[in-house]
Amino acid sequence: MNNLLFMIVKRVALGVLTLILLSLLIFLSVEALPGDLAQEILGQQATPEAVAAIRKDLGLDLPPHIRYVNWLGGMLQGDFGTSLALKRPIIDLIAPRLQNTLFLTLYTACIAVPLAILLGMMASLFRNSYFDRISNASALSAISMPEFFVGYILIYFLALSGYFPSMANITPSTPLFEKLYACFLPALTLTLVVTAHMMRMTRAAIINILALPYIEMAHLKGVRPSRIIFRHALPNALAPIVNVVALNLAYLITGVVIVEIVFVFPGLGQLMVDGVRFRDVPVVQASSLVFASAYVGLNLLADIISTATNPRLMRRK
């Protein structure tokens, strides 16, 4: 128990350090953008006095290290600043967009995770059969296609025929069933992309368990193959499966940007792209840090689950 607690504290400390380094990288990347933000806001006809006033108002006249500390301190206190384009607090812009992104992620996970585990179990149960070969070929095809291509294919076949809307326009007042209907195509796009990885990992994990002696003993006793998969193999293969599920959830939260653009979904990724388009630097910084925090947090959770479910990883060499 002490080793597990020490491992969790160590992983959390490494996660916090990673987030600090990522925040510094985000700040330096924005600083490296060409052009002057104050000049961009005022346009080409701006006078030097007006540019200097804007720079002072935005804090751009301060040294970079002071601006970074002020920006990071505000982030830690929940103060994301003010949008330069909309003149509104960024937290008011991020909160509903993040809620939409999390809704789309949860919607996709509810479809993809059970589907991937079921297909992985069936592929391991009927190993080397036509079903196994077709499912593996389909999985490799889905992994190799980028999200925007899958999205446009689904729009062509399902949206242009009138089955589902091509634009996922939702608002906080949209009823749940209408949200599920409007978000089906983006959720299906993400499902096709992430299911393949989880399915192949489930198949590989169960096949490795099926090669163990106690599984062979169950076969010799005449236990049905389906019972062996569900009662004996799957529970012992959960550690790598849970790990890959957590990693794919991290990808879902951070990888929805392209899908949100394709389907004009009002999520955090769309907000970040709009911030880049209008050079709304505070919005870009805040959105990037939220994505980075979600990705690091879920990877940290996957690391902790993987280590906690495998005691051999906690032994010190």
CA nearest neighbour of 76 among 289, 295, 299? 289
Domain boundary residue, one of 52, 76, 100? 76
Beta bridge partners of 82: 89
- Tell me the residue range of the domain where 138 lies: 90-314
What is the value of pTM for the model shown?
Answer: 0.84
Q: Is the pLDDT of residue 288 over 80?
A: yes
Average pLDDT over residues 266-285: 84
Least confident span in 67-81, 93-107, 177-191, 257-271? 67-81
C-alpha R_g of the chain? 24
**What is the chain's mean pLDDT, rounded?**
83
Within this chain, do residues 27 and 162 fall inside the same structural domain, yes or no? no
Looking at 48, 76, 104, the residue that finishes a domain is 76
For the segment 161-194, what is each residue's pLDDT rounded down to a tens digit? 889 998 888 888 889 999 999 999 999 999 988 8
What is the percentage of the chain residues whose pLDDT exceeds 90? Answer: 18
Q: Please provide residue 82's backbone torsions phi and psi, each rounded to the nearest 5 degrees.
A: -125, 140
In the prediction, which pLDDT does 315 show? 60
Number of domains in the chain: 2
Shared domain check, 298 and 208: yes
Q: Mean pLDDT, to the nearest integer, of 274-290?
A: 83
Nearest to 119 by CA among 107, 100, 132: 132
**Per-residue pLDDT tens for 223-232?**
887 788 778 7
Task: Choose the weakest-confidence range: 43-47, 50-54, 84-88, 202-206.
Answer: 43-47
List C-alpha distances in Å: 89 to 17, 98, 131, 267, 282: 27, 15, 53, 17, 10
